[in-house]
Amino acid sequence: MIIIRGRQSETGAAKLADQTYYITTFKKLPAEIRDRNTIIYRMKSLVCITPRQFEYRDIKIPSPEEGYSLIKISRIGICGTDLHAFEGTQPFFNYPRILGHELAAEYISGDAENFKKGERVTFIPYFHCGKCIACRTGKENCCTNIKVCGVHIDGGMAEYLIVPSYSLIHGQQLSLDELALVEPLAIGVHGIRRAEIISGEYVLVVGAGPIGLGTMEFAAIAGAKVIALDINDSRLQFCKEKLKVEHTVNALSEDVSKQLNEITNGDMPTVVIDATGNLNAINNSFRYMAHGARYVLIGLQKGEICISHPEFHKREATLKSSRNATRQDFEHVMNSMKNGHVDPTTYITHRVVFDDVKNEFESWLNPATGVIKAMVEL
Ligand SMILES: [Zn+2]
Ligand SMILES: [Zn+2]
């Protein structure tokens, strides 16, 4: 953060630490930012310029227009989407882009009703149009004009961010780490809602990354008997120890179907949920469905899914995608955190300050680092 002390005019240039910054007009910024004795008018941001290239850039603090609010970022959770964007494997993605959508923040200014300055907040990072067929039918999460913050528009890897006022959520005494984890858990909750789980049924969750872990926890809350499938034994161990998942299967073992058959007493899982976004895993999992099962795809990848029509048909299977999450899903997550039903802070394996993200980010692509969730502190 650049802080210029002393009396400055609101336009012109100021010199600090051998760098010249140009002060533009910032009348709309809150008093603390345009206060003449403590002028903060530039902020640090981290821009993903092209795949595998980050650059810290000093940019203007945006000012909130009508319908928008300014928040000061405190935590940024690093997500698969951010990693894929950095790698260059994220569908629907353009560069340069400021990543980051799993945020905990402080409310600074704007027209969000009942929000107070200094209040802890998080937000729903999927901005919707309110007019399209999806929005008109209560499915803002798959709005035809959706703008996902940090994906289609610049996100929260910066000191401040402007967000639509309607997207904000009160922090409700949750910690900053918990607030930054609401969004990834809401993704799992939405998948569970799409699956329409019936208490007591076997739910196979494929992929034990942060999204898969959240999905397993909320499947259990919905009454499911959860089976975790992943290729990484340490992650499966984590499922057993921290999440109390009873059944785990390594996807690399030769007899996955046989193991699932035994666990489910010959029925096979009546719900399969993909949280890998890996084409092979997605294609393989069609075989693990019980007759009459539902298959929900939370994970996303770029290729085309290939299925055996007769295998799918004989099961009278249902295939559903699950995109983003709704406010109802966010609320369910926050209530479950408050009630102590979930403690996703156990997912946090890596913690860095904002200045170190550029250097550390690449290492989080390597599974050998044991990363589940990396958390950035500001
Ligand atoms: Zn995310
Ligand atoms: Zn819409």
Q: Is 5 exposed, middle or buried (0-12, 13-18, 19+ CB in 10 A)?
A: exposed
- 86 and 195 share one domain: no
Ligand that lies nearest to the alpha carbon of residue 146, given by its number in the listed order: 2
Q: Any residues with CB less than 8 A from the CB of 53 and at least 6 apart, and which?
A: none
At 297, list the tokens.
């795809």
Q: How far is the CA of 115 from the centre of ligand 2 (A)?
A: 25
> Rounded CA gap, 36 and 5, in Å?
8
Q: How far is the CA of 164 from the centre of ligand 2 (A)?
A: 14
- 298 and 203 share one domain: yes
**CATH code at 372?**
3.90.180.10
Ligand that lies nearest to the alpha carbon of residue 138, given by its number in the listed order: 2
- 196 and 70 share one domain: no
> Per the domain annotation, does 305 fall within a domain?
yes
> Per the domain annotation, does 329 fall within a domain?
no
- 7 and 135 share one domain: yes
pLDDT given at position 91: 77
CA dihedral of residues 324, 326, 328, 331 (deg, nearest 10):
60
Do residues 186 and 126 make contact, with C-beta atoms less than 8 angstroms apart?
no
Q: Find the domain containing 277 and state its range.
A: 188-321
- Please state at what angle helix 182-195 crosses helix 327-338, rounded to 10 degrees: 110
Please give the model's pTM, rounded to 2 decimal places.
0.89
pLDDT given at position 1: 45
Ligand that lies nearest to the alpha carbon of residue 180, given by its number in the listed order: 1
pLDDT given at position 94: 93
> Rounded CA gap, 132 and 153, in Å?
19
Ligand that lies nearest to the alpha carbon of residue 84, given by its number in the listed order: 1
> Rounded CA gap, 334 and 328, in Å?
10
Ligand that lies nearest to the alpha carbon of residue 275, given by its number in the listed order: 1
Ligand that lies nearest to the alpha carbon of residue 102, given by its number in the listed order: 1
Per-residue pLDDT of the chain (378 residues; tens, 9 = 90+): 444 443 343 333 343 333 333 344 445 566 666 555 555 688 999 999 999 999 999 998 988 999 999 999 999 999 988 999 999 988 778 999 999 999 999 999 999 999 999 999 999 999 999 999 999 999 999 999 999 999 999 999 999 999 999 999 999 999 999 999 999 999 999 999 999 999 999 999 999 999 999 999 999 999 999 999 999 999 999 999 999 999 999 999 999 999 999 999 999 999 999 999 999 999 999 999 999 999 999 998 889 999 999 999 999 999 999 999 999 999 999 999 999 999 999 999 999 999 999 999 999 998 788 899 999 999
Tally of domains within the chain: 2
Q: List, as one string, the DSSP characters of 202-247.
A: EEEEE--SHHHHHHHHHHHHTT-EEEEEES-HHHHHHHHHHH--SE
Q: How far is the CA of 285 from the centre of ligand 2 (A)?
A: 32
At 48, list the tokens.
């993903």
At 137, list the tokens.
């039918």
- 8 and 29 share one domain: yes
pLDDT given at position 39: 57
- CB 321: neighbour CB atoms within 10 A? 14
**CATH code at 264?**
3.40.50.720
pLDDT given at position 33: 65
- 109 and 209 share one domain: no
> Per the domain annotation, does 333 fall within a domain?
no
pLDDT given at position 63: 87
Q: How far is the CA of 180 from the centre of ligand 1 (A)?
A: 10
At 325, list the tokens.
């999450």
CA dihedral of residues 280, 364, 191, 131 (deg, nearest 10):
-110
pLDDT given at position 34: 58
- 258 and 144 share one domain: no
pLDDT given at position 90: 82
> Rounded CA gap, 186 and 178, in Å?
12
> Per the domain annotation, does 360 fall within a domain?
yes
Ligand that lies nearest to the alpha carbon of residue 100, given by its number in the listed order: 1
Q: Any residues with CB less than 8 A from the CB of 189 and at least 6 apart, and which?
A: 214, 218, 325, 329, 332, 333
- 156 and 196 share one domain: no
Q: Any residues with CB less than 8 A from the CB of 254 and at least 6 apart, and which?
A: none
- 154 and 8 share one domain: yes
Q: How far is the CA of 242 from the centre of ligand 1 (A)?
A: 21
Please name the helix (run of DSSP H) or strand (run of DSSP E) that holds residue 308, with its range, or none.
Answer: none
User: How far is CA 360 from each of CA 209, 269, 363, rounded to the nearest angstrom?
Assistant: 19, 39, 6
> Rounded CA gap, 126 and 245, in Å?
31
Q: How far is the CA of 324 from the centre of ligand 2 (A)?
A: 13
Q: How far is the CA of 342 from the centre of ligand 1 (A)?
A: 18
> Per the domain annotation, does 93 fall within a domain?
yes
pLDDT given at position 62: 85
Q: How far is the CA of 337 from the centre of ligand 1 (A)?
A: 18
- CB 367: neighbour CB atoms within 10 A? 12
> Per the domain annotation, does 275 fall within a domain?
yes
